[in-house]
Amino acid sequence: MDIEQFVAQSIGEWRSMRSGHSLAFQQFEDVLSEISIKRFTEDHQKISELIQASSQPTNNQYCAPFCMEWNAESDWEPDDPSEVSSGSCLIVPIPMDKKSGKLLRSVGYAESAAAESDYRFLEDGTFILNTHYEQSIAEERIWFISEHVRCRSSVLKTSAGSGILQASFASEVRKIST
Amino acid sequence: MDIEQFVAQSIGEWRSMRSGHSLAFQQFEDVLSEISIKRFTEDHQKISELIQASSQPTNNQYCAPFCMEWNAESDWEPDDPSEVSSGSCLIVPIPMDKKSGKLLRSVGYAESAAAESDYRFLEDGTFILNTHYEQSIAEERIWFISEHVRCRSSVLKTSAGSGILQASFASEVRKIST
C-alpha cells in the first residue's frame, strides 16, 4: 500500500458510525455521519497556499490531493436537529518515500487550525497518522477490512506528558449507488 | 514485541469502554466493564486439556498462559441490574516464531465454543488475532498507546462471503492501585 493506492481506495461516499470515549469521565458519544472523499483536481492555488503556510519546502512533490466533507449528527442532543456538525477539509499528501511522508490538512482533527502530520504505512497496509497540535498529539489509524469497509481509530493525548484525553473509533461502510 | 512481552504488558486490572457497531442496523452498544488479566500458573491439567482438544500437536511448546475475566454492564437495559454479563477464559499462546503463532482459548469471542486463533505482531507491536469460527471470522487488534492504555478493535465477518456483521472498539485504562 502506498499513499496513491490508499487515497484511491478511500475515494467515495461513506456512512460512518463513530464512538468517542472520554477516558477521564468514562463517557461515550455515538455519532452517525456521512463522509464524502473526493479527488481535489480544480484549484492548484489552494494547494500552493497550504504548502506555503506549512513547514514543508515548496518544491516538494505532493500527490493525490483530496477533499473530505462530513455531516455528523451527535447523540448528545437527540431532539435538537441543530446539533449537526459538518465541515470540509483539503488534504495534501507529500510522500517522502513509498511508505511514509507528510500530510497537510487545511483543518485539523483535534484543533481547527491547519495541521501538518507524519504518515506511514505498516506492512499490512494500516495507515498511521501522527499530528502534533498546540495542546495535544493525535494518533489516527485507518485500515481496510474489505474494499467497502474501513476502520478508523484516533487517540488524543496531552502534548505535555502522557495523559490520554480521548479515544474514538469509526467503522465506515461505502455507500454503493444503485 | 513478542508474545511474552505482550502478555507481561497486559497483566493487570483494566477499566474498559467498549462500543459495538452493528453495521447492518446502524446501532450502537456502549458497554463499561472491568477486565482482569492474570498469569495462569496453577493448573497444568487445564492447559493440557485445551491443547489436546485443539488441532495443535501436543508436543508444541506453549508460553505465557493467562486467564482473562470480565464483568460487563450493557447499556441496553440501564435499569435492569441483571443485565450484567461476565465470564472468564483461559488463553494459551503457542508461538511458531518470534512474531507469530497460535492462540488457544477455552471460550471464544464470537461464539462460546473453544477457539483456535492465529496471531501475529506488526512491526510497531500491534497484535493481530484471526479466528475462524463456525459461522464467522473475527479479526481483533490490540495496540498499546502507553504503558497503561491500550486499544482493542474487533471486526466480525460472515465466514461465507464478505459480509461484515459487527465492529467494535474498546479503550482500556489500567486501574492503578493506590
Using an 8 Å CB-CB cutoff, list chain A residues near B155. 145, 149, 151, 171
Taking the C-alpha atoms of residue A175 and residue A34, their distance in angstroms, rounded to an integer, is: 9
**Can you give the pLDDT at residue A74?**
61
A157–B164 C-beta distance less than 8 A = no
More confident residue, A73 or A157: A157
Which of B130, B129, B125 is closest to B146 using CA atoms?
Answer: B125
Per-residue confidence band for B114, with pLDDT thresholds at 50, 70 and 90: confident
**Phi and psi at residue A5, in whole multiples of 5°?**
-65, -40
**Can you give the pLDDT at residue B33?**
95
Query: Which stretch of A49-53, A151-155, B131-135 has the lowest confidence by average pLDDT?
Result: B131-135
The nearest alpha carbon in chain A to B126 belongs to A122
Taking the C-alpha atoms of residue B157 and residue B131, their distance in angstroms, rounded to an integer, is: 10
- Give whichever of A2-16, A109-123, A124-138, B159-173 has the largest mean pLDDT: A2-16
- CATH code for the domain of A40: 2.40.128.20
The set of cell numbers assigned to A35 is: 463522509
A155–B153 C-beta distance less than 8 A = no
**Can you give the pLDDT at residue B4?**
96
pLDDT by residue (tens digit) across B154-165? 999 887 766 778
C-alpha distance from A102 to closest chain B C-alpha (Å): 19
Taking the C-alpha atoms of residue A114 and residue A1, their distance in angstroms, rounded to an integer, is: 26
Contacts of B145 (CB under 8 A, 6+ apart): A139, A155, A157, A164, A167, B151
**Does A130 score more than 90 pLDDT?**
yes
Binding-site residues on chain B for chain A (CB distance < 8 A)? 15, 17, 19, 21, 23, 26, 28, 30, 32, 75, 122-124, 126, 128, 139, 145-146, 149, 151, 153, 155, 157, 162, 164, 167, 169, 171, 173
pLDDT by residue (tens digit) across A133-149? 888 899 999 999 989 99
**Can you give the pLDDT at residue A107?**
80
Binding-site residues on chain A for chain B (CB distance < 8 A)? 15, 17, 19, 21, 23, 26, 28, 30, 32, 75, 122-124, 126, 128, 139, 145-146, 149, 151, 153, 155, 157, 162, 164, 167, 169, 171, 173
**Does A59 score more than 90 pLDDT?**
no
Using an 8 Å CB-CB cutoff, list chain A residues near B15. 26
Give how many domains chain A has, as a whole number. 1
Give me chain A's average pLDDT, please.
89
* Assembly ipTM: 0.88
Which of B139, B162, B171, B170 is closest to B21 using CA atoms?
Answer: B170
A32–B30 C-beta distance less than 8 A = no
Q: Which domain covers residue A166, as residue numbers? A: 3-174
Count of residues making up chain B: 178
* Average pLDDT for A157-170: 83
* Helices and strands in chain A: count of H runs, count of E runs: 2, 10
Per-residue confidence band for A123, with pLDDT thresholds at 50, 70 and 90: very high
Quickly count: other Cβ atoms within 10 Å of residue B78's Cβ. Answer: 9
What is the 8-class DSSP label of residue A62?
A: P
- For chain B, the first-to-last Cα distance in angstroms comes to 29
- CB nearest B17 (choices: A28, A122, A146): A28
**Can you give the pLDDT at residue A153?**
97
Taking the C-alpha atoms of residue B68 and residue B109, their distance in angstroms, rounded to an integer, is: 12
Quickly count: other Cβ atoms within 10 Å of residue B149's Cβ. Answer: 20
CA dihedral (B52, B56, B61, B62) positive or negative: negative
* Average pLDDT for B105-120: 81
**Can you give the pLDDT at residue B107?**
80
**Does A57 score more than 70 pLDDT?**
yes
Question: Which helix (H) or strand (E) is A43 found in, with range?
Answer: none
Contacts of A106 (CB under 8 A, 6+ apart): A46, A50, A89, A90, A91, A114
Quickly count: other Cβ atoms within 10 Å of residue B133's Cβ. Answer: 18
Per-residue confidence band for A101, with pLDDT thresholds at 50, 70 and 90: very high
* Helices and strands in chain B: count of H runs, count of E runs: 2, 10
pLDDT by residue (tens digit) across B54-109? 999 988 899 999 999 999 876 555 555 555 688 899 999 999 999 999 999 988 66
**Does A151 score more than 60 pLDDT?**
yes
Mutate to test the interface with A, among B123, B171, B172, B173 (most CBs of A within 10 A): B171
Which of A97, A104, A94 is closest to A63 using CA atoms?
Answer: A94
pLDDT by residue (tens digit) across A63-84? 999 999 999 876 555 555 555 6
